Amino acid sequence: MSAVRDPAAQDGHVGWVEHTLAGITGSIERAVFTEEHARSRGWLQRVDPRAKLGMFLIVILAASLSGSIVIEVGLYAVVLAAAVASRVPTDFFVKRVWLGIPLFAGIVVIPAIFFVPGERLFDLALGPVHLAPSIPGLIGAVLLVARVGVSVSLAVLLVLTTPWADLLKSLQAIRVPQLFILVLAMAYRYIFLFLHLASGMFEARKSRVVARTSGGEQRRWISGTMGNLLNRSFKMSNDVYAAMSARGFTGSIRTFNTYRMRRADWAALGGAAAVSTVAVVAGRGVA
């Protein structure tokens, strides 16, 4: 008996199962790629995680307080230089930040371009609608996007150059609540576990389906898969908590890594503070 082949597969069409598998695999590969960068021997990878977290928080604060586009561009240049010194691929770093920022930040600032009072750049009449962007509105929009870009770039660079466990321990150093850190640690660990489970389910379906299925059958399978994953997550959370309690868990995370601030770490933290101070002071005076 010959198997019935999917006509969509014969004409080169990629189905939703293949798209889902590709998305899951891509997420896992990006996470592995990030961990590889965090364990390389770049400049930021050698800085104490506590000093690194302090550096990035200080520069993010400076980017938020600065009122100059020129200063924001200068801070972004410093961030790019740090990424290059840390052996992070520039194209990967830039794309990871700027492919999302113009879309979301741009949507937020579009009304400000047209409703902020001030001198108009042009006045274009499209029937009853007049498009008249103001110069102060455009400047404010560019400044907001620049601030978001610098802040997100710093956050991405911190994750790319710091192992997850070290980052969580750095949060403990600045007195972040233990419950918040625990939730982050468990979520990060089990996101990948459930990605593997979902990938296995989709691969199993793909290997067993030889004909085109109806939309109703696909929706029923997806809803059943979602319910199965939800049931597994509840069961696994109970099992993991029981295992942790049996081993002496008291609500706080402890690691075997010990950190000691060196002279180079203090110098990096002081340099970040100096750059941030100059950026804030200069940003108040630069138009």
- For residue 136, the model assigns a pLDDT of 82
With a cut of 60, say whether residue 113 has pLDDT above it. Answer: yes
- For residue 6, the model assigns a pLDDT of 43
98 CB neighbour count, 10 Å cutoff: 14
- For residue 242, the model assigns a pLDDT of 80
Please compute the mean of the pLDDT values over residues 162-178 and round it to a whole number. Answer: 82
- For residue 4, the model assigns a pLDDT of 39
Are 134 and 120 in contact by the 8 Å Cβ rule? The answer is yes
- Cα–Cα nearest to 89, from 26, 34, 155, 48: 34
What three-state secondary structure class fits 247?
A: coil
Segment 117-147, tens digit of pLDDT: 777 777 666 666 667 778 888 888 888 888 8
Average pLDDT, the chain: 77
Q: Which residue has the higher pLDDT, 29 or 253?
A: 253
Residue 20 confidence class, pLDDT cut points 50, 70, 90: low
